[in-house]
Amino acid sequence: IANKKGVTPGQLCLTWVIVQGNIVNIPSTKIIKYLEENFGASKIHLDFEELSQFGEITDSIEVID
């Protein structure tokens, strides 16, 4: 998905977290390049198909409390 959209995998993951709405993400970096990438994530749009692909991946992950 990241390659198709021309973004980094990190940006794509940050975008997904932002879209969830019920997750707070606090990215950290000491490198300006990565800080700019993090801000860029807020400008990425995920369509229904892309969100569905993420759902398939996250639904298959077992969470242990």
Each residue's pLDDT tens digit, 8-38: 999 998 998 888 888 777 888 889 998 888 8
Give the end-to-end CA distance of the chain in Å, rounded to a whole number. Answer: 30
**Which pLDDT belongs to residue 22?**
80
pTM equals 0.75
What pLDDT score was predicted for residue 28? 82
**65 has pLDDT over 80:** no
Whole-number pLDDT of residue 57? 84
Contact 17, 23 (CB under 8 A): yes
